[in-house]
Amino acid sequence: MHDIWDLDQRGIPGGMIATTAFEQAANAQSAALNFDPAIVYVPHPIQDRTDDEIKTIARDALTPVMRMISASA
């Protein structure tokens, strides 16, 4: 979060991908920084997933990630 905030302060757009387990923490940090970052959340956990499960998570995240990076341009 702080890295994206730092980039934003420099005029460089950014975004992040995090698992849903970190949504509450990200909301708290963004509120503390008075910053509305671009975030795409994916299912938690990531570790111990099969290759097929990871591919599905990535495929499902593709459209939101493309929207996020297009909006930052």
The model's pTM: 0.88
Computed on alpha carbons and rounded to an integer, the radius of gyration of the chain in Å comes to 13
pLDDT, one tens digit per residue, over 48-69 is: 999 999 999 999 999 999 999 9
Instruction: Place 71 in a pLDDT band, splitting at 50, 70 and 90.
Output: confident
pLDDT, one tens digit per residue, over 6-63 is: 999 999 988 999 999 999 999 999 999 999 999 999 999 999 999 999 999 999 999 9
Give, for 18, the enclosing helix (H) or strand (E): strand 15-19
User: What is the rounded distance in angstroms from the CA atom of residue 51 to the CA atom of residue 43?
Assistant: 15
User: What is the rounded distance in angstroms from the CA atom of residue 64 to the CA atom of residue 48?
Assistant: 24
Query: What's the distance, CA 44 to chain centroid?
Result: 13
3-class DSSP state of 1: coil
